[in-house]
Amino acid sequence: MMAYGSVADAFDEYLRIAETTAYSCLDHFVKAIINCFGDEYLRRPIPEDLQRLLDIGELHGFSGMIGSIDCMHWEWKNCPTACKGQYTCGSGKPTIVLEAVASQDLWIWHAFFGPPGALNDIYILDRSPVFDDILNDRAPKVKYSVNGHQYKLAYYLTDGIYPKWSTFIQSIPLPQTPKDSLFASHQEVVRKDVERAFGVLQARFAIVKNPALLWDKVKIGNIMRACIILHNMIVEDERDGYTQHIQSNRTSEVDSDLPTTRPSCVSSMMNIRLKVRDREKHKQLQDDLVENI
């Protein structure tokens, strides 16, 4: 059912399994995958992971980049009638949204699943926990240099709908100079990592590609998380075959000591929030990256 997207009652002829039994087995299987392997394969990046992501970003000319972020819609065929208006997007069919961060090796580092399909990427970002560790001062400290300027917040590559924050770098929609054109082409090529991750996830697990047939949104979420865990397992097994050699003269560093978890002061959280949403820092970083490319 997960690999080929088969319907539950397709097994009653040759396996003598009823539709309800097939759904029950699928539910037990995905819960076991999440309980046994979720902590390892749905983890936040540890300092070693961050350092490798920063090194890969530096190879592509984007010092300080730790992945690409985007959203994917999963059609919900049996959405309850009372929820259809909330979950229906422009296509006219109800969908559930997955927000994900993926790296070059297609590992999915962040997965936020469940927002209604009527929301766009900005509204989903407001609900997402992608920056919770940074706001609560629990994320590993990062330092990197671009064009002679020092920065302390890593960033994601995004498309044009995301806001101009210091943690997002978009392409230049109408480049006017050769430098801007070169930067735009590089950014759009590297940002496709998250699109490739969505495509590979759907190719490996047709249940995610086909419309969801369940009524229970919690069970649909468990299926999505289990597919992401199994996807990351495959990436870990195959990653050594196509990961590029990391250069030794790196300009990005990660503090190996994780900050201790402590209750955050509201004023300090607001200061960090202002730094994350700093548009001037975003503009300076983008200009430095244009020169670096």
Average pLDDT over residues 78-94: 87
Average pLDDT over residues 150-167: 93
Helix (H, G, I), strand (E, B) or coil at 219: helix
Closest C-alpha to 258, from 105, 47, 43: 47
Band (139; pLDDT cuts 50, 70, 90) = confident
Residue 123 has pLDDT above 90, yes or no: yes
As a whole number of angstroms, the distance between CA 120 and CA 123 comes to 6
Token pair of 198, please?
Answer: 């969505």
- Give yes or no for a contact between 94 and 87, defined as CB atoms under 8 angstroms apart: yes
More confident residue, 255 or 198: 198
Band (268; pLDDT cuts 50, 70, 90) = confident
Write down the pLDDT at residue 83. 87
Residue 118 has pLDDT above 60, yes or no: yes
Band (39; pLDDT cuts 50, 70, 90) = very high
Write down the pLDDT at residue 253. 77
Tell me which DSSP letter residue 116 carries: E
